[in-house]
Amino acid sequence: MKLVLLGKPGSGKGSEAELLAKTLKVPQISMGDILRSIEREKTEIGRMVSAYIDKGELVPDELAMTIFKERISKPDCKKGLLLDGFPRYLEQANELDKLMKIDKAIYLDVPDDLIIKRLSNRRSCSNCGAVYNLITNPPKKEGVCDKCGKDLYIRNDDKPETIKNRLKIYNEQTKPVVNFYSNKGILIKIDGSKSIDEVHKNVLKALGKSA
Ligand SMILES: [Zn+2]
């Protein structure tokens, strides 16, 4: 089964992608992972990717697409795959459409205000990178990491203004992708405001698979 998984930042997409790939035994493919693994290969393309990332710049779309195409042509993708957070723009959705037939696109639907609430309650450890949530997964002692005892802080990415900005970008760039799959009649919309377990159960049910 060839699947696309879409969701706003903070929609729980990462957790669901991991569970779903494991349950369906298909490779989980995200552009970020592909670029990171290419970077480790000391090839010419790897060095090009490194150069962009080191400068803090985005890898140009054309180069990213070339690398992506190569990845999905590998044997482990023949039987099925799960594209995690890809396509991000309408142009990429059109490109992908020429490359392979996607069976279903799953969209984890979470209202913006819940996303803001979820993400603004995130706290990260300044030392070991552990992530907490004041509501769903609070540290034992306020402001202190359970694992290493160092201070917790709010990452820039998790500040309300940044979250609003990320959501705005998402709504502009990726909403058209959701509509693209909806128009094709292969979009599955799942209520992403539920718990991780419930979301996973509902996704499997919608795909006609049991847990
Ligand atoms: Zn820590």
19-41 per-position pLDDT tens digit: 999 999 999 999 888 888 888 88
98-123 per-position pLDDT tens digit: 999 999 999 999 999 999 988 889 99
Is-catalytic flag, 155?
yes
The mean pLDDT value for 151-162 works out to: 90
Instruction: Supply φ then ψ for residue 147, to 5 degrees.
Output: -80, -40
Catalytic residue among 117, 166, 175, 194: 166
Domains, the chain: 2-26+79-206 (3.40.50.300)
34-40-166 Cα angle (round to 5): 45
pLDDT at position 178, please? 96
58 close to 146: Cβ distance less than 8 angstroms: no
Please tell me the distance between residue 121's alpha carbon and the centre of ligand 1 in angstroms. Answer: 17
Please tell me the distance between residue 143's alpha carbon and the centre of ligand 1 in angstroms. Answer: 11
Q: Work out whether strand 131-133 and strand 122-125 pair parallel, antiparallel, or are unpaired.
A: antiparallel
The mean pLDDT value for 130-146 works out to: 93
CA distance 144 to 28: 33
The mean pLDDT value for 79-84 works out to: 94
Contacts of 99 (CB under 8 A, 6+ apart): 69, 72
Is-catalytic flag, 166?
yes
Q: For a pLDDT cut of 90, what percent of the chain falls above it?
A: 63
Q: Work out whether strand 131-133 and strand 187-191 pair parallel, antiparallel, or are unpaired.
A: unpaired
Q: For residue 63, give the nearest of 77, 44, 81 by alpha carbon.
A: 44
Is-catalytic flag, 40?
no
Residue 199, pLDDT > 90, answer: yes
CA distance 55 to 50: 8
CA distance 101 to 204: 20
Residue 211, pLDDT > 70, answer: no
The whole model's pTM is what?
A: 0.85
Please tell me the distance between residue 158's alpha carbon and the centre of ligand 1 in angstroms. Answer: 17
pLDDT at position 156, please? 85
Q: For residue 13, give the nearest of 92, 129, 109 by alpha carbon.
A: 109
